[in-house]
Amino acid sequence: MIVTVTANPSLDRTVQVRELVRGGLNRASSIRVDPGGKGINVARALALHGVDVRAVVAAGGIEGEQLVALLAGIGINVVRVPAVGPVRINMSVVEPDATVTKFNEPGALLEAGDARALSEAVLQGAGGAHRVVIAGSLPPGVDSAYYAELVRAVGSLGVPVVVDTSGPALRKAVQAGPALVKPNLRELEQTVGHPITTIGDVADAADELLDLGAGTVLASLGTDGALLRGHDGDGHAEAPVTAQNTVGAGDALLAGYLSEGCGGLPALVTAVACGAAAASLPGSAMPQPHDLRPDLVRVASQVPWGRRLQRDP
């Protein structure tokens, strides 16, 4: 079983428009609502691939009830911890050329008592788990060291911890010694404090995270695929994709890696196949097994260290 932790979940509303008119009337051609937040997206993708998963979420208000109902509807075991305010609603406006304009709310306040309750729920659920995945941003009211403390607490139980977050919370969590971290390019740059322009730069930045305390780094690079660096091996893989909406693609990539179980290059292939499939789906839909094309994933026989990155918009 894998336990996922989402301190700042969301309801993700995706609106398709024929043309985005700034300052004018925009009519939607389609609308969909998905449960969101990084940890929840990972849980959704894992569940669709037959992995036993438990999602621990901080969710308040009627929106929280809707979130839990959506997750229960796809067979995910949800542990809900109350929050002061309602679950945030994030909106993505998608144009025909796949340009996505996002509007993300900050999230509900999580008071100290609720944050403690969330940690306790995670520790109670971690017994017997193969991994605990801590993913997503921290909500207002929570100290940036919160994830680091949770990494140490779960690690003391002998359960490997995976972290996917950003900013100061990521750096502090890495210093707590997680088994795996999954930054994207922007998060890598924020953490190491300098620009990254080539695959070799990604590897150097990953090495900095390894020196800080991470066991393995899985860097998601958008169009450039993903780079694996650390105890689980080294490698680079990529796949062609016709993107509809890249929201959640990095989360699907992480879920694909974890679903393989064995680590190394086989897991990297599954990860990249999942990320590419998610980017080709509408909204923040997570891919099912029939959506994957692992045969199209290209694993580099030699990592192209000098290749310049194609920075996604």
Report the catalytic residues.
Answer: 251
Cα distance between residue 109 and residue 141, in whole Å? 6
Residue closest to 299 by CA, chosen among 244, 216, 228: 228
Q: Which helix (H) or strand (E) holds 93?
A: strand 88-94
E strand spans, 151-292: 161-164, 180-181, 216-220, 226-230, 235-238
* Phi and psi torsions of 43, nearest 5°: -60, -45
As a three-state string, the secondary structure of 252-293 is HHHHHHHHHCCCHHHHHHHHHHHHHHHHCCCCCCCCCHHHCC
Q: Which amino acid is at 269?
A: V
Long-range pairs, 288-291, Cβ under 8 A, ≥24: 288/48, 288/49, 289/48, 289/49
Residue closest to 71 by CA, chosen among 91, 93, 48: 48
Residue closest to 229 by CA, chosen among 214, 251, 249, 248: 214
CA 162 to chain CA centroid, Å, is: 10
Cα distance between residue 262 and residue 130, in whole Å? 12
Q: How far apart are the first and last CA of the chain?
A: 35
Residues 312/180/256/52 CA torsion (nearest 10 deg): -140
